A and B are shown apart, each in its own frame.
Chain A
Amino acid sequence: MPIHDLGYRAWQGRTVAEILRWWVITETGIRLAWRNRWLRRILWFAWAPALFIGSGFFAYEQWMINPAAQQVGERIARQLLEAAPSSDRHEVWAWLLMSFFRYPQAMLMLLIVGLIAPPLIAQDVRTRAFLLYFSRPITRIEYLVGKLATMWAYLALITTLPALALYVFAVLLSPEIGVVVDTWDLPIRVLAASAVLMIPTTTLALAFSSLTSDTRYAAFAWFATWGFGWVTYGFLFSGVPGVYASDNWTLISLYHTLGEVQTWVFGVGQTTSLFVSSTVVLLGISVLSLMVLFHRISSPMRV
């Protein structure tokens, strides 16, 4: 024993509140995920689309107040959107924010979850870490919340935070602060759209992770689910002669299903009958994934 060894000493101190124990799992998960160089690179890149959308807000506000810019703006809008830009600020802002969620950030979400989620439970299965967790005052719900919140933190960093920052940026660009009255609901819609994006995707990715001890299989399952949906959707709606698909086939693609619900959340365009079935599919994925997760994390204790 080293000379400074004082033997065993008792510990007397105050423990932190039980309600915060899941945060230990989240914090450790965030720290471990941050060691991935590719994740850090993607995160740096993740705010680039916000700059692009931000320039959209800037252009729109210029169009609203500057007559010279109106002609240019209208010409560009007609070419891109085949319609004149709306003078309804709420509609345009909502559309810009929805576009931010729907296109660049959905792709980045796919990559980030594909990097973070696979090892989250698969490695615990491989290293039998369940005993380390559950022999402590941690419940299975806290364990799951801790793991899910690890992904939520990163996803919020690339979706919720930049979207809220965009909204603040747009308000600051506006001619008067009164625009807040017109658009007060948009931050709430951003939070709702974040929840729509995060909950089904992260529970599904974590369920894949819980089904194996090899992270590669979990990653493959995640990307294959998206890829298969995309390719099938593309094929069915490609207009190839002899291939006809009803709108309900949209549900085969997770990406397009998410898009339907996010479109409704932002109140952009018309709500179709697909919104209800898309919501049911996303809820079904979330509930089924949670059931798989509870079963899988309980099973090591049953042996």
Chain B
Amino acid sequence: MQPVVRLENITKNYNRLRALDGVSLSFGAGMVGLLGPNGAGKTTLIKVLLGLVEITAGSGEVLGLKLGRQARAIRERVGYMAEDDCYLAGLTGVETVQFAARLSGLPSLEALRRSHEILDFAGIEQERYRPVETYSHGMRQKLRFAQAIVHDPPMLILDEPTSGLDPEQREAMLQRICVLANRAGKTVLLSTHILPDVQSICDTVIILARGQVRVVDRLEVLCRPASPAYHVHVVGSPGPLEARIRAEGLECRREEDGAITVMEADERTAQRLWGWAREMALSIRSLAPARNSLEQIFLDAIREDSHAHS
């Protein structure tokens, strides 16, 4: 499959500060989560992809177009939802989206028609006729989302699209993003601090720290533990079962939520666990193959980073 984004050894310096340090990555169509602590270089990476800043070294392609030389063509095909407010003072919601559409090349009347269509999709109703200055935070998020997709770009870069939204609006926003990726076939790069958002909708994850790529892989692969393991939840205290597992020569650890993770499990482990529970008159609430949590993967990547620099 042809990669949608391919970066090779991208370095970006702001005077003495190295914001990106030899970033190499590639990903294909689908939903990609971009994670990293503050100052990791996420915003700079986005600006590099959009051609808003010149790279110090390296090369890359977005949608088959060369970074730098074809920046304008890239921006024509990429929709960007900024994290911060950005609007034109004095315009109404529909005028703002129409303006964005026209900047992307839609003819005036067609831009107006398309803006109404997209505002319907984004969930902005009659408020579209109000000046943007009067919008709430949630409304502005939706408006920026509408601006990003109004020209129907094949790739979207969404910077913190759900931050500051209430749970209902957040769910609706994630659903819209899923519609764009799954039904409209768009590639979505989702930059966020909200890990559950990435876990719930993304299929690939990139973790940046100190301007370097720490992790880039499919979420499914990342969440698979290094060796097969099981998560066991029991009704009541897990202590006796934990002791029994250890006594049987298996390695295990107690999780914060009270679950027991049994390491180095094989096909017979589940059967044996059921048997021991029956013998000890314990009820198993759940027994499932263990998966690494994204939070753990993220923290491991960050720890790796702080250890390397301590």
Size class of the contact patch on chain A: 35 or more
Closest to A12 in B: B152
- The answer to whether A16 and B107 touch (CB under 8 A), given A127-B88, A134-B52, is yes
Q: Is the CB of A130 within 8 A of B152?
A: no
With a cutoff of 8 Å between Cβ atoms, the chain B residues found around residue A119 in the complex are 89
B86 on the A face (CB < 8 A): yes
Binary interface encoding of chain B residues 38-52 relative to chain A, with 1 for a CB under 8 A from any of its CBs, else 0: 000000000100101
Q: Is the CB of B84 within 8 A of A131?
A: yes
B298 on the A face (CB < 8 A): no
Q: Is the CB of A28 within 8 A of B151?
A: no
Binary interface encoding of chain A residues 12-33 relative to chain B, with 1 for a CB under 8 A from any of its CBs, else 0: 1111101001001100100010
With a cutoff of 8 Å between Cβ atoms, the chain B residues found around residue A127 in the complex are 85-89
- B104's partner among A8, A15, A25, A129 (CB-CB below 8 A) is A15
11 A-B residue pairs with Cβ-Cβ distance under 8 Å, sorted by A, are: A8-B183, A14-B107, A24-B102, A28-B88, A35-B90, A127-B87, A127-B89, A128-B86, A130-B86, A135-B75, A137-B104
In angstroms, Cα B86 to Cα A133, docked, is 9
In angstroms, Cα B88 to Cα A18, docked, is 21
Size class of the contact patch on chain B: 35 or more
With a cutoff of 8 Å between Cβ atoms, the chain A residues found around residue B107 in the complex are 13-16
- Shortest A297–chain B CB gap in Å is 12
A76 on the B face (CB < 8 A): no
A9 on the B face (CB < 8 A): yes
In angstroms, Cα B121 to Cα A9, docked, is 9
Show the binding face of A for B, using Cβ within 8 Å.
1-2, 4-16, 18, 21, 24-25, 28, 32, 35, 119, 123-124, 126-139, 301-302
- The answer to whether A10 and B84 touch (CB under 8 A), given A136-B100, A137-B75, is no
- Shortest A89–chain B CB gap in Å is 46
In angstroms, Cα B152 to Cα A116, docked, is 34
Q: A11-B151, A28-B91, A128-B86 are in contact. List 14 more A-B contacts (CB 8 A).
A: A14-B107, A32-B91, A35-B90, A124-B88, A127-B87, A132-B82, A132-B87, A132-B100, A132-B147, A135-B50, A135-B52, A136-B103, A137-B104, A302-B14
In angstroms, Cα B152 to Cα A46, docked, is 44
Binary interface encoding of chain B residues 99-133 relative to chain A, with 1 for a CB under 8 A from any of its CBs, else 0: 11011111100100010010011010100000000
- Shortest A70–chain B CB gap in Å is 56
